[in-house]
Structure 1
Amino acid sequence: MAIIKQAARQTLGQLIGANNPVVTVPDDSQRQYSWTKKEVDVYWSDIEKFKDGRDVGKESSAEYFIGPVVTITAEKMSGRALLDGQQRLTTSTILLAAIRDTLWQTNSPEAKLSANNIQRDYIARKSGRKEPMEYFLVLSLFDRDFFRDYIQTWNENTGECARTEALTRPSHQLIKEAYDNLCNKVQSRLQRFPDDEDRLDYLDSLRECLINGLVFVEIQTPTSSDANEVFETINSRGKDLSTVDLVRNFLMEKSVGPHEKERVNNAWRSLLDDFQRREDIEKFLRHFWVSKHGDVKSHSLYVTIRKNLTEHFDRRPQTYSVGNFSAKLENAASRYADLISQNTGVPDFDAALAEVKVLSADALYPLFLAASEASPYDEMVDLAKAALSYYVRWTVVGTRESTLLEENIFGLAKDLSNGLASLDDAVKQVVGWIPDDDAFYVAFRDASIPKQAQSRYLLSKLEQSMRVAADISDEFALGGNKVHVENIYPAKPDAGLKLEDHDNWVSRLGNLTLLTGRRDRSNSNLPYPEKEPAYDGSSMLVSSRTQVGALWDFGASRWRVEGIVERQERLARIALDVWPSGIGERA
């Protein structure tokens, strides 16, 4: 059980500021800034409501409790190491900076003095001309320099921060976006006050609300292990987005000496530098673990990792260390970044990976990650083609139970990682799972695809195949934005032309096609004769050469469900070659 020295009520002004111990986010225990516009908007909305209630003397708005923070505090209380609460304290400091900069821009001596006071009292100051800058909130190594450059190191003569640091990580961009967002919100609120005095009063009142009204509960612990235990208890209950941070904290806790801690930090630098979005890091961590150990759900990932690695790290003599795991993680991160960005340098493999992305076929990534550990990318093309055929035939068109596909793929990835299967074995295994041509033809012939991304993908691949067969050399980009999916029989037809079983026919593949340019909904809902020139004259072969006209009965002036069936059977025959049941059969 964790030891807690005390849990004390603290205002923002008692946590950060010139008269308080500096709050430092340890390099070995905390994540980078991660609040998006959504979280910042909620934060601002709460502050606004709190301030409005406080201004009218509402008793329930005397204080605004914003949550707990977890710190490691020494006996002499010379500093605080922050384990939990970074996002809230960082965002509060950003809002103070936004108030500071807004005050300065009003260009009055009183406002500039207030801006300088906010800077010196709650953000950063120099105790002497030749003394180094003292920062009241010190972020971890991932964000420290950028946060100082963009928010904290402020010139009292010019009213500006240097802002010369490059935005090299997603967290840097989020810091900038949070600052811009909060500046805009403060400026927008000021528009309600035509008088400069009223504006200054509002800004001063907002500052006072933050400093004296924003309340935390600081949970002080004596050691990092105690703080980590409290941090995990607070953050691991149903909060998937904290998994990466919890794993890093766990690795730091299990590290033996500074060398292993640095090894963990190096791995995390790679994760932050290789991926553009935090969601990609979360996804990578799960897929990395799945590729080694088989399926595990996101909500139980951290508990599973901790239990498994603890058994290894605590074993004596130790055969697998924090350093070993961190090195594997760092190596895999680089390869995973290649996979999700389609940047392997092998055109055929990158094309297959582009299809995986369009289909959101994330279940295939653990297999490719496992294979890439021992095989070069140019040898993985057949595996990617087989996996795509399996995914399309089984899930997209066949609409079979995806759980079985994931079970097969994840188990095979585990066998590859553990040396129980070779790359050739893996290809043969996947090919053996692909539904045969008869089953696929029947499934495709009857398929209804309401999801726009999937129908666009299927039609685009058919279009590519038809162009190759027709010896048309101009390229057609899969997933490009120059074409759209069109319902031949309209999604909203005139009442007199509506088919009896409308919902069963409108999303059938035989009723869908591609047209160039942006979709015109009014034209899409016209009777066929008024749309016929668009199909006959289309550069899309899937529109001009697949019997689109069979969907209309010119004699009776009505739509033909028989035409949808006939056209879909034609497309199904082409599909057999586009997504083959074997290897080396692709069109």
Structure 2
Amino acid sequence: MTKTLTAHEQAISKIFSDDYIFTIPGYQRPYSWKVEQASELVEDLLGFMRSSIGELSELPPYFLGSIVLVKAETQPDATVVDGQQRLTTLTLLLSAIRAHAENGMARAGISKMIYDQGDIILNTENHYRLTLRSKDEAFFQDYVQHEGGVEKLVSLNSELSDSQNRLRDNAKFYMKYLSKIGIGEQLRLAQFIATRCYLVAVSTPDLDSAFRIFNVLNSRGLDLSATDILKAEITGKISEKIRPIYTQMWEELEEDLGRDEFNDLFGHIRTVYRKIKPQETLLKEFRVHVKFAKAEQFIDEILKPMAVAFQEIGDSSYTSQQNAEKVNASLTWINKVEFRDWMPPTLTYFVRHRNDFDLILRFVSDMEILVYSMLIRRVGVNDRIDRFSKLTTSIEAGEDLWASKSPLALSPVEQYSTYEALSGPIYDTHSARAVSLILVRLDSLLSGGGAIYSYNTISVEHILPQTPMAKSQWLEWIPEAEKRRALVHRLGNLALLTRRKNSAARNFDFAKKKTAYFTKNGISPFVLTTQVLAAAAWTEEVILARQDVLLSKFEQHYRLQDRKSPSDAMLAAIGG
């Protein structure tokens, strides 16, 4: 009976021998370990080695984990499904030790673990223990595996790819780190790695079996993302002839977005297809619900268009002959909201209509209204996901998004509830972050949309203090405590500052508060605060008049003018 899986605990000297010829396939992500991981490896090795005294042969073994290979049991050729980071970094560390070695035999012994030199007499070529992806293969041979390579690498000033930059950074760290320990300990470290450090090599003769093992190991805590596994699975289904093209396309999309954003994109793609709150892991739900006939189709027709749209939306970088500035202005404000449930339907719409600039502008303008209404009404995550999932379904079905009952449109009840929340004690009912964003958006509307908010700190301040001091001017202007409580947390009594709150300044009299706290050199960058500076007193009448002015801006932008008073039907709908 043919074995489908073998697992052997092997010393590194055996791993880096003629028993294995490791190749990193093109579908693997580039080398990604940074100095943090590289330093942790060598410090753990040295710490373990130093903790034991005596001959190397007497030291307990040090376990480096497992690697997963596609490999026939009787053949040395091994495709690395999991383990490239450790194999690559161990090779780099051994090369750095070799660079410091003064003993020729030591250098030759380390080189033997890295590659076999070709023989001009026997007409044989160099035989490398580890071959990286094609993009980095020659670079790794020249600057890591060959003698003298690491010395050239650390002084290299050329512009490099991300993976090559990480190799250079880690090489610099290792060369500097090793220079601080003695030659004897460097040699002992190489001997310890070769003879007392072990990997479990898990081998299976076919790719599907290797992926299954890879997935099991991943579920138990290896530092792998769902997108790494999906990349391996999806590109692994593409014919070898065109696989490098699609692998490169995948990696370029990931590099353009950045690893974290790329992972987020897959979460949004899952939601586009699943349309409910996640119930299982991203990996499991993606496999079950994201349907495509061929792997190439997924990359061409789903991943690439979604990635392009995701970058335009997230960076507010939409380009078109018309409306781009207005579209990006709305996207900028939507992106400031903490929740991201709005992204799946927006991605869906952009993929279908991005070249119709009038429709895109209309969509993002209404999406901003919907998103900020949800923020203002404090709509919970489950209700948001349900609403945006219905919107995604409506977009996919080609329905009229501007019909009165469209999921994109605010219902009369929602319009009234938005107005009521804005009219009330908003500072008391919303989080500080939400209030700050709502006020900054209001300030931008007052400024005509031209203001830029790039301050390190923006805080919300009450003009009439929450607890004015006895016998203060504030109590003369509004002596009734009940009236003060009714006014203090409303929009009409709030301003914005570019500094942290100062508890000592909150109870300043109005004149001093304006000059010493609300301004810097007599001016404020916020229209909201400039309004306050123009007032001579801060009475109930002033606050209410300002409340009306500010509300009118929101009413106009969010189309709430006809929803100030609830109809009987609306009252019934909201339980009034």
TM range (shorter): 0.7 to 0.9
Q: Contact 2:143–2:150 at 8 Å: present in 1 too?
A: no
Report the counterpart of residue 281 of structure 1 in structure 2: 262
1:324 aligns with 2:291: no
Alpha carbons of structure 1 residues 69 and 465: separation in structure 2 relative to 1, 3 Å: same
Deviations 1:340-373 (A, max 9, x none): 2222212222222222332244222211211122
Report the counterpart of residue 210 of structure 1 in structure 2: 193
Q: Which is further off, 338-347 or 544-553?
A: 544-553
Cα shift at 1:234: 1.3
- The one of 139, 142, 147 equivalent to 2:132 is 139
1:430 aligns with 2:428: no
Question: Which runs of structure 2 are paired with 1:537-576 in the superposition (5 Å)?
Answer: 537-539=522-524, 540-546=526-532, 571-576=550-555
Q: Contact 1:51–1:209 at 8 Å: present in 2 too?
A: yes
- The one of 360, 364, 385 equivalent to 1:384 is 364
Alpha-carbon distance in structure 2 between the residues aligned to 1:531 and 1:59: 76
Question: Which runs of structure 2 are paired with 1:46-445 in the superposition (5 Å)?
Answer: 46-54=44-52, 62-100=60-98, 103=100, 111=102, 113=104, 116-117=107-108, 120-124=111-115, 126-128=117-119, 134-141=127-134, 143-144=136-137, 147-148=140-141, 151-152=144-145, 155=148, 159-160=152-153, 163=156, 166-169=159-162, 171-180=163-172, 182=174, 186=178, 190=180, 199-236=182-219, 242-255=225-238, 257-259=239-241, 261-262=243-244, 264-275=246-257, 277-295=258-276, 297=278, 299-308=280-289, 320-328=293-301, 329-345=303-319, 346-376=324-354, 378=357, 379-394=359-374, 396-417=375-396, 419-421=397-399, 424=402, 428-432=406-410, 436-444=414-422, 445=424
Alpha carbons of structure 1 residues 117 and 254: separation in structure 2 relative to 1, 3 Å: same
Cα shift at 1:157: 10
Cα shift at 1:45: 5.0
What amino acid does structure 1 have at the position aligned with 2:13? Answer: G
Deviations 1:450-507 (A, max 9, x none): 8676444333222211222xxxx9x4214x136632545899999999xx9xxx9999
- Please give the secondary structure, in 2, of the residue aligned with 1:219: strand
Alpha-carbon distance in structure 2 between the residues aligned to 1:405 and 1:231: 36
- Please give the secondary structure, in 1, of the residue aligned with 2:14: helix
What amino acid does structure 1 have at the position aligned with 2:451? Answer: F
Alpha-carbon distance in structure 2 between the residues aligned to 1:492 and 1:41: 53
1:477 aligns with 2:458: no
- Please give the secondary structure, in 2, of the residue aligned with 1:432: coil
Alpha-carbon distance in structure 1 between the residues aligned to 2:464 and 2:51: 53
- Please give the secondary structure, in 1, of the residue aligned with 2:225: helix
Alpha-carbon distance in structure 1 between the residues aligned to 2:13 and 2:545: 73
Q: Contact 2:306–2:347 at 8 Å: present in 1 too?
A: yes
Cα shift at 1:265: 1.9
- Please give the secondary structure, in 2, of the residue aligned with 1:10: strand
Cα shift at 1:179: 4.4
Alpha-carbon distance in structure 1 between the residues aligned to 2:242 and 2:261: 25
Q: Which is further off, 224-233 or 425-434?
A: 425-434
What amino acid does structure 1 have at the position aligned with 2:362? Answer: D
1:535 aligns with 2:512: no
Alpha-carbon distance in structure 1 between the residues aligned to 2:542 and 2:192: 69
Alpha carbons of structure 1 residues 357 and 202: separation in structure 2 relative to 1, 3 Å: farther
Q: Contact 2:67–2:82 at 8 Å: present in 1 too?
A: yes
RMSD of Structure 2 on Structure 1 (CA): 4.6
What amino acid does structure 1 have at the position aligned with 2:26? Answer: D
Deviations 1:269-322 (A, max 9, x none): 3423432x211111112222322442363852222332356xx77xxxxxx222
Report the counterpart of residue 26 of structure 1 in structure 2: 25
Alpha-carbon distance in structure 1 between the residues aligned to 2:447 and 2:113: 65
Q: Contact 1:292–1:414 at 8 Å: present in 2 too?
A: no
Q: TM-score, normalised by structure 1?
A: 0.75
Deviations 1:237-257 (A, max 9, x none): 5779521122122224444x3
Report the counterpart of residue 585 of structure 1 in structure 2: none
Cα shift at 1:160: 4.1
Alpha-carbon distance in structure 1 between the residues aligned to 2:403 and 2:168: 49
Q: Contact 1:295–1:411 at 8 Å: present in 2 too?
A: no
Report the counterpart of residue 476 of structure 2 in structure 1: none
Alpha-carbon distance in structure 2 between the residues aligned to 1:96 and 1:336: 42
5+ residue gaps in structure 1?
Answer: 104-109, 191-197, 314-319, 554-559, 583-587
Q: Contact 1:344–1:350 at 8 Å: present in 2 too?
A: yes
Q: Contact 2:390–2:407 at 8 Å: present in 1 too?
A: no
Alpha carbons of structure 1 residues 140 and 58: separation in structure 2 relative to 1, 3 Å: closer
5+ residue gaps in structure 2?
Answer: 473-480, 562-576
Cα shift at 1:40: 4.6
* Greater Rg by CA: 2
- Please give the secondary structure, in 1, of the residue aligned with 2:67: strand
What amino acid does structure 2 have at the position aligned with 1:325? Answer: F
Q: Contact 1:397–1:443 at 8 Å: present in 2 too?
A: yes
Cα shift at 1:443: 2.1
Number of aligned residues: 532
Alpha carbons of structure 1 residues 441 and 157: separation in structure 2 relative to 1, 3 Å: closer
Report the counterpart of residue 16 of structure 2 in structure 1: 16
Q: Contact 2:6–2:203 at 8 Å: present in 1 too?
A: yes
What amino acid does structure 2 have at the position aligned with 1:515? Answer: L
Alpha carbons of structure 1 residues 299 and 203: separation in structure 2 relative to 1, 3 Å: farther
Alpha carbons of structure 1 residues 162 and 443: separation in structure 2 relative to 1, 3 Å: same
Q: Which is further off, 53-62 or 215-224?
A: 53-62
What amino acid does structure 2 have at the position aligned with 1:31? Answer: R
Q: Contact 1:510–1:568 at 8 Å: present in 2 too?
A: yes
Cα shift at 1:142: 5.8
- Please give the secondary structure, in 2, of the residue aligned with 1:542: helix
- Please give the secondary structure, in 1, of the residue aligned with 2:459: strand
Cα shift at 1:406: 1.5
Alpha-carbon distance in structure 2 between the residues aligned to 1:528 and 1:142: 65
Question: Which runs of structure 2 are paired with 1:452-471 in the superposition (5 Å)?
Answer: 454-468=434-448
Deviations 1:544-567 (A, max 9, x none): 2147989989xxxxxx9x999997
Cα shift at 1:67: 1.4
Alpha-carbon distance in structure 1 between the residues aligned to 2:334 and 2:535: 33
- Please give the secondary structure, in 2, of the residue aligned with 1:373: helix
Q: Contact 2:425–2:487 at 8 Å: present in 1 too?
A: no
Alpha-carbon distance in structure 2 between the residues aligned to 1:58 and 1:565: 83
Alpha carbons of structure 1 residues 462 and 265: separation in structure 2 relative to 1, 3 Å: same
Report the counterpart of residue 565 of structure 2 in structure 1: none
Q: Contact 1:387–1:430 at 8 Å: present in 2 too?
A: yes
Cα shift at 1:575: 3.3
Q: TM-score, normalised by structure 2?
A: 0.76
Alpha-carbon distance in structure 2 between the residues aligned to 1:160 and 1:96: 14
Alpha carbons of structure 1 residues 53 and 340: separation in structure 2 relative to 1, 3 Å: same
